[in-house]
Amino acid sequence: MNDLIEQAASDLLESRYAIVLTGAGMSTESGIPDFRGPKGIWTTDREAEARAYERYSLFLRDPVAYWEELPGRKGTHGAFYNVVGRAEPNPGHYALAELERLGVVKWLITQNIDGLHRRAGSVNVTEYHGTVHKLRCPACGSRRPLEDAAPENLPPHCGCGRAMKYDVVHFNEPIPPDVMSEAEEQALKCDLMLVCGTSAVVYPFADLPRAAKLGRAEVKVIEVNAEPTQLTQEGLSDYHIRGKTGEVLPGIVEALRKRSRGPGSSLPE
Ligand code: NAD
């Protein structure tokens, strides 16, 4: 594993425009369970998966019932959002923020809805599946802080008159067009993609590594994951660093700093 960490540090230093893709595995070390890992919510509770598929249609049908599951309220989603609300960034989140600060990573696209990348200091972030910390109007696309959802007056309403939902993108809900085009632009611009803690089976997110490589074999895709994924099995990733993101990513930062130490280094202190 150490050789691959060294290899990743070297590839990152040589890259022109490196971006990062992340998934739920990034935040398991912050105490937020993933969906499909060995201890994932759906691995241990199949009905939770079925309920998740109902969230968007519930909002369309009955926005008041949808909002019954606000953080602090009852239901699977309420409990999950409470865990998210208490979570803190882990060393993996801080390592990615450090790679951006050093100018090595230019952009990060996350499927996570927990807001932990921004909390750790990452700035150039696309939240592909939205965030629990905001509201979004599915009609006009405008967003507001979650605090605007007054518990005594649900559902919250947008200035355009429509009911608002969590900014979170539920199953069977389209990805907001602004987010979709930002992510695609970044995927087509990059020459290196570091893919961390995602099983890469949720679409259209999982298409981003494919889009990056299409007609550009020189684009490197590096995976950091506790287990092999769809990308590993299809040979889409150039290599897979098997391990925890909270250990591997700080290791990459350390290796990268060692390599760039000394006169002539272009990295900030
Ligand atoms: P997933 O559950 O399908 O896959 C997680 C992957 O990460 C698995 O391959 C697992 O082996 C790996 N993993 C788990 N812990 C790890 C660790 N410490 N280090 C390295 N790898 C680790 O997750 P996904 O691919 O992101 O797709 C699930 C969907 O659920 C996403 O759309 C996401 O929005 C949502 N989700 C978000 C959160 C969150 O915001 N933290 C949590 C659960 C689910």
Query: Is the residue at 70 inside a domain?
Result: no
Query: Is the residue at 198 inside a domain?
Result: yes
pLDDT at site 265: 65
Please name every residue paired with 22 in a beta bridge, in sequence order, or none if there are none.
110, 196
CA distance 184 to 26: 21
Residue 25 beta carbon below 6 angstroms from any ligand 1 atom? yes
CATH of the domain at 183: 3.40.50.1220
| Top-confidence residue, 130 or 265 | 130
pLDDT digits (tens, 9 = 90+) for 74-103: 555 566 778 888 999 999 999 999 999 999
pLDDT digits (tens, 9 = 90+) for 199-240: 999 999 999 999 999 999 999 999 999 999 999 999 999 999
Structural domain including 243 reads 2-31+89-131+175-260
Q: How many domains does the chain have?
A: 1
269 CA → ligand 1 middle, Å: 32
Ligand 1, atom 36: nearest CA belongs to which residue? 24
Residue 199 beta carbon below 6 angstroms from any ligand 1 atom? yes
> 220-225 and 239-242 as β-strands: parallel, antiparallel, unpaired?
parallel
What would the mean pLDDT of 135-148 be, rounded to a whole number?
93
Question: In the structure, what pLDDT confidence band is assigned to residue 71 with cuts at 50, 70 and 90?
Answer: low
Query: Is the residue at 169 inside a domain?
Result: no
Query: Is the residue at 61 inside a domain?
Result: no
Q: Where are any strands of DSSP class E within 172-233?
A: 192-196, 220-225
117 noted as active-site residue: no
Atom of ligand 1 nearest to the CA of 40: 2
pLDDT digits (tens, 9 = 90+) for 154-163: 899 999 999 9
